[in-house]
Amino acid sequence: MSGSLENVTEETLAGIAKAQTTGILENTGFYSYDLSGLVSLIPVVTPFRDIVARVKSPDGNPYAVWRAIMDTTAAQPDPSMGWDYAANEVIFSEQDFQAKYKPTGLAGMATQDAFDLATGYADPFQVATFQTLNQVLIGDDRKLLGGQSFALPRPAAPTLAQQPTGGTIGAATVYVGVAARTGSGYYYGSGNSQGNSASTTFASGSSNSVVATVSAVRGAVAYDWFQSADGNTWRYYTTTTVNTVTFTKVITADQPLPSGTAVPDLTSNWKGVVNAKPTFNAAADNGSANANDYDGFLATLSGDYNGNGQWVQAGTGTANPSTFKSLDGGALTLDGGNIAEIEDYIFLPLWNAIKASPTALMMNAAQAQQIANLVLGSSSATTFLNTDTSGRLNVTAGGRVGELVNAPAGGITVPIEVHTSLPPGTIIARTDRVPFPQANISNVLEYRNLRDCAQFDYGISRVPGQAGGGPRREFEIRSVGAFVNRAPVAMGVLSNVG
């Protein structure tokens, strides 16, 4: 037998047998693959990153440092002094501020085998680089808004209101726990605040429910809720973006994470573990302080500042000068064609504080839609009927509210901005220009950096004994910077909007 026949394998014979059919049919396998181009289904929308100026620091330092002359108008002496008397001296107050630089970034990798198998189709290293950069941009947007290095305050014990309907709770004692999350915790599951709890006892019934409400935690964008049968063993119930929730049942195991429009983009990670459920810790902070974070926009609007001008937990330093109001789960309402809560709790207090109007109202798509529904659903909303080229009426349904009139500021219009990295329930009034004499502020908000978005290639490497260990080419894209807010007094937050 020839050597070539000896080398005929079982796989080859099986292939020949497959081809031995009466005619050529579909199952013969004579077809190619319609292999179209590689597609990417990852939305990359980073409006806040696009707004914030990115400025290179001229020297190396652990902190970005600036000095501010604080407003002491309310403490100034009477300017009337009388004849032959010297004028009273003006009171000055100077405060140093510091923002600590922190590195952020993500890494990517492609193996040589991936290169070989993708020959003629795609470059795995290019794909990995581009997709890693996309996630870096998304991460920057989220951290610029929600990064926080200091702990949230512990919530007060929740208030529990018994309801005789709406659930399946019978005669039992129900323990309810709550802990608050920062923006960083919302998107990355780094943890929550120290928890607090309360209990209520139902004497009878089988369709009871419990409405739990907790005092607003300044800086929180979400609240994790827990349930216990004895006050010791806690099970995760749900997460809300307002400081109230209804318990409709008694649970014996952790519940699934909520999904949908109520908590869009809520992370499925918990402290680095995928699909792990949030935990409750009544003894200490449970990860709301992320030592690896720089303090983002919300942190600069919620934290107090200490003697060195560093942001610290609310209630432990000099009070944050920004405007803050919680609606405690209440909805926005229409009054005189405008949004009453924004006028009363944002526009008017900011006018009283800075005698100026904010530049924009930042909000989630849910609140933007809520405002549009309120305004356009009122009887005073104007509808325009446009004629088409043939002279017929062409009606377009729906609409948006792009601006709100700031009546306290004299009728200035304030644009509405939808921000993907701002969870529902929180509205921020942002001021990009502070119109004070000699304010000397080129950028009110700034990402001041020692290094901005650089790629570092580690070359070819190997890790024996594991899949993906190589040969492989590794890299990371990283920045080192700090978020600077030079005028928190010119900003405002409306929290827990239902």
* Model pLDDT, residue 350: 96
pLDDT of residue 392: 67
Q: What's residue 5's pLDDT?
A: 45
- Give the pLDDT score at 22: 65
Pick 390 or 260 by higher pLDDT: 260
Q: What pLDDT is stored for residue 11 in this prediction?
A: 55
User: Which residues lie below 8 Å from residue 6, measured CB to CB, with a gap of 6+?
Assistant: none
Q: Which of 68, 172, 139 is nearest to 486 (CA)?
A: 68
Q: Domain spans of the chain?
A: 159-274
Q: What is the pLDDT of residues 16-34, one digit of tens each?
A: 455 555 677 767 676 777 7
Residues 115-126 have pLDDT tens digits of 899 998 899 999
Residues 485, 303: Cα–Cα separation, whole Å: 12
Long-range contacts of 457-465 (CB under 8 A, 24+ apart): none
Asked if 452 and 498 count as a contact pair (C-beta separation under 8 A), the reply is no
| pLDDT computed for residue 70 by the predictor | 85
Give the pLDDT of residue 39. 87
The b-or-e profile of 297-321 (16+ CB within 10 A means b, else e) is bbbbbbbbbeeebbbbbbeebeebb
pLDDT > 60? residue 67: yes
Mean pLDDT for the stretch of residues 146-171: 97
The pLDDT assigned to 2 comes to: 45
Give yes or no for residue 1 having a pLDDT over 50. Answer: no
Backbone angles phi, psi at 3, to 5 degrees: -65, -35
Nearest to residue 183, comparing CAs of 361, 418, 423? 423
Strand order in the sheet with 244-247: 159-163, 209-213, 244-247
Q: What is the pLDDT of residues 265-278, one digit of tens each?
A: 999 999 999 999 99
Residue 371 sits at φ, ψ, to 5 deg, of -65, -45
pLDDT of residue 36: 81
Q: Would you say residue 496 has pLDDT above 80?
A: yes
pLDDT at residue number 20: 58
11-25, 150-164, 275-289, 388-402: least confident range: 11-25
pLDDT per position as a tens digit, 283-327: 999 999 999 999 999 999 999 999 999 999 999 999 999 999 999
Give the dihedral sign, CA 187/192/198/200. positive
pLDDT band at 73 (very low <50, low <70, confident <90, very high): confident
What is the torsion angle, in degrees rounded to the nearest 10, for the CA atoms of residue 213, residue 367, residue 187 and residue 265? 110
CB distance 295 to 148 below 8 Å: yes
Digit-coded pLDDT (tens) for 204-263: 999 999 999 999 999 999 999 999 999 999 999 999 999 999 999 999 999 999 987 889
% of the chain residues with pLDDT over 90:
77
Q: Sign of the CA dihedral 334, 336, 342, 345?
A: negative
Q: What does pLDDT average to over the chain?
A: 91
62 pLDDT tier (thresholds 50, 70, 90): very high
Range 457-461 average pLDDT? 89
Residue indicated by tokens 């939305």: 43
**Which structure tokens are listed for 478?**
């990283």
CA dihedral (148, 151, 153, 157) positive or negative: positive
Strands 492-495 and 323-326: parallel
Tens digit of each residue's pLDDT (9 = 90 or more) over 327-354: 999 999 999 889 999 999 999 999 999 9
> Is the confidence at residue 192, as pLDDT, over 50?
yes
Confidence of residue 38 (pLDDT cuts 50, 70, 90): confident
Mean pLDDT, residues 60-83 = 90
